[in-house]
Amino acid sequence: MISRRALRRGKSRVMVGLMGVAVLVAILPLFLILASLVIEGASSLSISFFVNRPAPVGETGGGVAHAILGTLMIVGVASAVGIPLGVAAGIYCSEYRGTRLAWVTRFVADVLNGTPSIVVGLLAWTWVVATQKHFSALAGSIALAFLMVPMVMRTTEELVRLVPDSLREAALALGYPRWRTTLVVVLRTALPGIVTGSLLAVARVAGETAPLLFTALGSEYFSFDMDRPMAALPLVVYKYATGPYPEWHKLAWTASLVLILVVLVLNVAARLATRQRFDRA
């Protein structure tokens, strides 16, 4: 007969093993995607890919620098609008959680979170492109900002709610006005999490293709004009991947890899910039 102890230990091993398998299954897709990106895309990666415009069909070389710039600009403007709005709405919904407006806002945000991104693109098309009668990068930014607001809002709300009431009380008891308590103490305490949530939102919209198809449209040229069509990495990937030439397919892989790298660099940079700095004790 097996001892109870051995039985318990055996059960524990089986359970821990099952959890390990679950973790592997969960992260496997990520590694498969990254691996195929590197295998298919890394061979065409070169300096010129980062600094040049696309070469005409038939010629080799060329790059996606115009699309890197475009993605940074479109996503940058979307973030500048979407993140502050989302953070502010999130703070409201958490600090004034009992109000009817908070309830409505939360509900609308959840619906918006579940809305397909192409629908949001269509909205931006109707509002901006159709009224202005031309495609523009700004329309793309607006579509992306729409997608960011509910994501940023919900994370901010959850994180602000986690700030213990005792900290709010401590600040109020020191003579902080309510608005300063919220801004300085509550927001500052929740900031690392809000940064993470915002970065996830940035990463997600940086890869969105559908809302840009009929707003920013895409372009073959360098452009700083938000009022004109602009290139973006997802659009480049879409164009090259659905194109007829094998070289284009290769470029699509490489552009995808670049997109992942851009998101990675943004993540690291934002984390370094908002890191908590203390002297060594």
The two tokens of residue 211 are 């809302």
Q: How many CB atoms lie within 10 A of CB 271?
A: 13
Rounded to a whole number of angstroms, the minimum distance from the CB of residue 183 to another protein is 12
Cβ distance to another protein smaller for residue 133 or 277: 277
Cβ distance to another protein smaller for residue 154 or 168: 168
**Is 224 within 8 Å of 136 (Cβ atoms)?**
no
Q: How many CB atoms lie within 10 A of CB 103?
A: 12
* C-alpha distances out from residue 21 to 9, 11, 30, 107, 145, Å: 18, 15, 15, 36, 38
**Is 68 within 8 Å of 183 (Cβ atoms)?**
no
Rounded to a whole number of angstroms, the minimum distance from the CB of residue 196 to another protein is 15
Q: Which residues bind another protein (CB under 8 A)?
A: 98, 164, 166-167, 169-177, 180, 185, 188-189, 191, 276, 278-281
* C-alpha distances out from residue 263 to 129, 160, 199, 251, Å: 27, 25, 9, 18
Rounded to a whole number of angstroms, the minimum distance from the CB of residue 180 to another protein is 7
Beta bridge partners of 217: 230
Question: Which stretches within the chain are classed as H helix?
Answer: 4-41, 47-51, 65-95, 100-113, 117-124, 130-132, 137-162, 165-173, 178-180, 187-206, 210-213, 233-241, 246-273
Rounded to a whole number of angstroms, the minimum distance from the CB of residue 108 to another protein is 24
Cβ distance to another protein smaller for residue 130 or 170: 170
Cβ distance to another protein smaller for residue 13 or 180: 180
Cβ distance to another protein smaller for residue 47 or 272: 272
Cβ distance to another protein smaller for residue 134 or 180: 180
Rounded to a whole number of angstroms, the minimum distance from the CB of residue 86 to another protein is 21
Rounded to a whole number of angstroms, the minimum distance from the CB of residue 176 to another protein is 6
Cβ distance to another protein smaller for residue 11 or 180: 180
Three-state secondary structure call for residue 4: helix
Rounded to a whole number of angstroms, the minimum distance from the CB of residue 169 to another protein is 7
**Is 223 within 8 Å of 231 (Cβ atoms)?**
yes
